[in-house]
Copies of this chain bind each other. A is one copy, B any other.
Amino acid sequence: MSGINIKKLALELNLSAATVSRALRDSYEISTETKQKVWAMAKKLNYEPNPSASNLRSQKSKTIAVIIPEVANNFFSQAINGIEEIARTRDYHVLIYQTHENSETEIAFIQRLLSGRVDGILISISKETDDNQLFKEIIKDIPVIFFDRVFKDIDAVKITTDDYESTYNATLHLIDCGCKKIAYLMGLSNLETGKKRIDGYTAALNDNDIAYKNELIMADCTDDDENYQQIKKLLITEKPDGIISSIEELALPCYYACKDLNLNIPADVKIISFSNLKTAPLLNPSLTTITQPAFEMGKEAATILFKILDKKYFESNETLILKSTLIKRGSTRCE
């Protein structure tokens, strides 16, 4: 395990330490035959180059970082698995960082990553972050791919889903089911992602001659209990017959609030939420979801990052848009 260094390898191989070192670096000065001998012995003895020293030489960490708000959010855990599937084929390690939606933590992480610790970054920005200035600097130093939660005005690769179309279609579904007072639970309001989602809702109302009402829009809070209280208040004062939740975190508080108020889902109020919850089909009632292709998104993001690392041509400010799926279930059943 431990204690195998270049000197010991050299001793085993009856070669000089300098030759072994050069062979390990795949230097042109060393014959293929010798290199293969060295590599075979290094493998046999489980030789691990000191990563710090080796980083300084090769400038390659063989590591990428994924920076996300929360691993407990199903969208992100699935996206990470997509990223890892690609990284594994390239023999790269994936470091996962959580920002917990905190902009300062996010910045502190990234500043530490800048000096060669990783070869590239895949990031979904925290909902607090509204300033892209730092990111404009960072993308000059290291390849960064933005996914799901992206900035509008930044010259980098961005991968999103069809946020506008998703809420447009979800709102249409509620209208088709007879809803006339559709509440909208707003998340990610600082971000392009959140703005597109509410735009889709507004457009669908407009196209169906339903007036947009400020009272039916609720912005999310950071505190779970406060979200629950706000939703309860909205249900009591505005009596919506439909709800669109633009983030997964607000779906369950809706269920709890309806339970407490003795409101029947879907008879009294129909609910749709952005969500990658595995239990959505088993809830009481099963939840109609806008499900993002999280795993595929992770795969796409990692694939593009490796193209950039391989210095293959890639349009640096390309935006990829993947399609989400509206899965109709019990919570929007038309009676």
Which residues of A pack against B, CB within 8 Å? 1-2, 46, 48-53, 55-56, 70-72, 74, 77-78, 80-81, 84, 93-98, 100, 109, 111-112, 114-117, 134, 137-138, 140-141, 252, 255-256, 277-279, 282-286
Contact = CB atoms under 8 A, between A and B. Distances in A.
A148 to B, nearest CB: 16
Contact of A284 (B111, B116, B284): B284
A186 B284 CA distance: 27
A251 to B, nearest CB: 9
A51 B254 CA distance: 46
Contacts of A2: 114, 137, 140-141
30 contacts: A1-B134, A1-B138, A2-B140, A48-B114, A49-B115, A50-B56, A50-B116, A51-B52, A51-B115, A51-B116, A51-B117, A52-B52, A52-B53, A52-B116, A52-B117, A71-B80, A72-B74, A72-B77, A72-B78, A80-B98, A93-B109, A94-B97, A96-B97, A96-B98, A252-B279, A277-B279, A279-B279, A279-B282, A283-B283, A283-B284
Given A96-B97, A279-B283, A283-B279, A51 B252 contact: no
A112 B252 contact: no
Tallying the copies of this chain within the complex gives 2
Given A72-B77, A93-B97, A141-B2, A52 B46 contact: no
Contacts of A255: 282
Nearest to A138: B1
A96 B93 contact: no
A256 B2 CA distance: 48
Contact of A46 (B50, B53, B111): B111
A112 B53 CA distance: 13
A124 to B, nearest CB: 14
A89 to B, nearest CB: 13
Contact of A77 (B71, B252, B283): B71
Nearest to A113: B51
B1 A115 contact: no
Ordered nearest first, which 7 A-B pairs have the shortest CB separation?
A284-B284, A96-B96, A72-B77, A71-B71, A52-B55, A1-B137, A279-B279
A131 B278 CA distance: 33
A100 B85 CA distance: 11
Contact of A282 (B52, B74, B115, B283): B283
